Structure 1
């Protein structure tokens, strides 16, 4: 299998105090099934969409209890070297690079603007087995930050991203690319519309066959609708928080409306 290009979103997981509650919620909203808890690795439990690895849930380690949140991991051929680059570019390592058995190696980090993310060097675990167009699969992700210039400097320096700016006077939105313009990640400025007690984060989107139906299921189970549903050129999407406070979005990529935005390359 060809190596995943450096900097590609490769995996997502989240810590939940109530693992069974999280499994019930995401099974209903995203159609996930779950594997056996891996007691050797802190009861890490993999989620599957149509039998393919889509994400994972895990209880918090002692002393790390707090609000649940999804964490996005970027591919690396050498987690230790990526960690060194993160430090060199002003980031902070929250969890030092460590081997996870034969599955691979990981670290957790924070950019200088406060955005938390992970790094994954694949071993036997190659990351997402799903493709983005499948129900329940990881579909997209966006950095939400109050310091866009910081992210626009840091992430390209660490992962070699190219950049394209959306030509829109109503928002500051940028795309990060790899290779020949392969778009892998978005970056959104958090305006004053976002309460200041909300920290910056990377929002993950999961594909659903019907956005409105997914929202209805989520809110019925105690989730909170934060934005939408709204139809865009990319799909019909909505932003949610699950009952334990983890933010995520759902998107139906088959329902689109409007013209694709104009983009300009950033040197």
Structure 2
């Protein structure tokens, strides 16, 4: 178990948030699949809740603004020291800033941006809410990886955030959909989780399979939000 007690270094993944067109349906699905409970969160951009696991904050779920055409999707947020400064570097490096920076009540300051290939990500300047409080246990985030055809994408992120050894994300193969950050949640048994996903109305995009980082399955929730689950390799294997 890894509890996250302090604010993470700039450029480190620190939060994941789902924008969906059916918040109640999403809550029901992830409660059953990952054991989450929910508490109210900042509401500047619409209804929003934080998912908790054994009382620790692990993710956010919000409602897609009507009429925007935004897809149901998970967004990975990166810790930053000053959201306004980093948002400006995103623009200087050829990316775009679609939302913000704006204040999320007393929780922190955020922006939503895209890199040069169009992969969407968030910036989070944590204040009262530094980010996720638990990782690498069943039901909590494990890691995020970038799916992009641009093999030099790391140059963009290093320029925006500054190089940092704790940012252990890596470009992944782009096989379905546009460039994006894909979030992985830890589970005890990806095979059982994939079966349960189907029973709950979701889909299996890629059946459970072994990788160098553990056994992984790629799934969607009933509204189409894509995510992956992983049972990490035991230490020493």
TM-score (ref. length: structure 1)? 0.81
Cα distance in 2 for residues equivalent to 1:100 and 1:226: 34
The residue correspondences of 1:87-126 to structure 2 (distance < 5 A) are 87-126=91-130
Q: Match for residue 51 of structure 1?
A: 55
Q: Match for residue 156 of structure 1?
A: 158
Residue of 28, 32, 37 corresponding to 1:24: 28
SS at 1:244's partner residue? coil
Cα distance in 2 for residues equivalent to 1:204 and 1:257: 25
The residue correspondences of 1:1-267 to structure 2 (distance < 5 A) are 2-36=6-40, 42-130=46-134, 132-149=135-152, 151-161=153-163, 178-179=164-165, 182-190=166-174, 194-195=175-176, 198-254=177-233
Larger RCO of the pair (alpha carbons < 8 Å, separation 6+): 2
| Alpha-carbon shift at residue 255 of structure 1 (Å) | 5.6
| Alpha-carbon shift at residue 247 of structure 1 (Å) | 0.8
User: How many residue pairs are counted as aligned between the two chains?
Assistant: 233
Cα distance in 2 for residues equivalent to 1:254 and 1:29: 21
| Alpha-carbon shift at residue 90 of structure 1 (Å) | 0.4
Q: Which runs of 5+ in 2 are unaligned?
A: none
Cα distance in 2 for residues equivalent to 1:236 and 1:26: 20
Q: Report Cα offsets for 1:139-165 as digits up to 9, x if no partner.
A: 01110012222x12211111123xxxx
| Alpha-carbon shift at residue 10 of structure 1 (Å) | 0.7
For the 8 Å contact 1:9–1:75, the answer to whether it is kept is yes
Cα distance in 1 for residues equivalent to 2:139 and 2:204: 18
For the 8 Å contact 1:29–1:214, the answer to whether it is kept is yes
Cα distance in 2 for residues equivalent to 1:203 and 1:126: 21
Task: Work out which of the two has the higher radius of gyration on C-alpha atoms and give 1 or 2.
Answer: 1
Q: Report Cα offsets for 1:185-225 as digits up to 9, x if no partner.
A: 121142xxx25xx1111000001111111111111112111
Q: Which runs of 5+ in 1 are unaligned?
A: 162-177, 259-267
Cα distance in 1 for residues equivalent to 2:128 and 2:219: 32
TM-score (ref. length: structure 2)? 0.91
Q: Report Cα offsets for 1:223-261 as digits up to 9, x if no partner.
A: 111113112332111111111111100011256897xxx
